[in-house]
């Protein structure tokens, strides 16, 4: 039994070094709810707002101790998909013609954070991110992957703003 003591002590020491990325959630906050987001970006794919809402729920569930509660939540998230735009970037010349090397998909989400226990903590902010793809590639072939990349960053930004005093 004594020979295992150093391993146990090392494990205890290592576990005490781990922190949850600076998460700062007051102990009285135990529940959250994500209201259905609206799709206000006319050219966004159908169901994008549902996908975003579900991913925000998953992010908060997997990265915090909070549990979902739709009747009396301590924290609420509301908002909308406000922008879904494809723009040409990286101009280049080819045979005396101006073309672009890349297109950029940009998604913006407006979030209203409501703390039902402390109104002074409420905020509203827009979050956006983009991903580039080759101009020779059809958006429909890469759209799902680009949305995943963009949502991952936006969700991280929202989580940081809400729970890490970012």
Domain count within the chain: 1
Judge whether 19 lies within some domain: no
SS3 content of the chain, % helix, strand, coil (to 5): 35, 35, 30
pLDDT value at position 110?
A: 98
Reported as a single tens digit per residue, the pLDDT across 18-47 is 334 568 889 999 999 999 999 999 899 999
| Averaged pLDDT, groups of 10, the chain, 166 residues long | 45 39 84 97 95 98 95 97 92 66 95 97 97 92 97 97 83
The pLDDT score that the predictor gives to residue 97 is 65
Tell whether 11 is covered by a domain: no
Q: Is residue 4 part of a domain?
A: no
Tokens of 62: 């997997």
pLDDT of 35? 97
Judge whether 1 lies within some domain: no
* Residue 3 is assigned to a structural domain of this protein: no
DSSP 4: G
Q: What was the pLDDT predicted at 100?
A: 72
| H helix intervals, 82-132 | none
Q: Is residue 78 in a domain?
A: yes
- Domain around 95: 25-163
């Amino acid at each position: 039994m004594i020979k295992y003591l150093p391993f146990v002590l090392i494990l205890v020491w290592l576990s005490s070094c781990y922190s949850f990325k600076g998460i700062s959630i007051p102990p009285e906050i135990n529940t959250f709810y994500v209201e259905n987001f609206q799709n206000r970006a006319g050219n966004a794919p159908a169901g994008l707002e549902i996908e975003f809402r579900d991913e925000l729920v998953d992010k908060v569930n997997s990265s915090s101790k909070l549990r979902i509660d739709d009747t009396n939540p301590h924290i609420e998230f509301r908002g909308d998909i406000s922008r879904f735009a494809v723009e040409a970037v990286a101009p280049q010349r080819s045979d005396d013609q101006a073309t672009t090397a890349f297109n950029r998909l940009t998604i913006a989400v407006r979030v209203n954070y409501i703390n039902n226990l402390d109104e002074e903590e409420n905020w509203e902010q827009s979050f956006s991110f983009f991903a580039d793809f080759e101009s020779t590639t059809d958006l429909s072939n890469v759209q799902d992957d680009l949305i995943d990349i963009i949502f991952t960053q936006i969700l991280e930004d929202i989580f940081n703003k809400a729970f890490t005093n970012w």
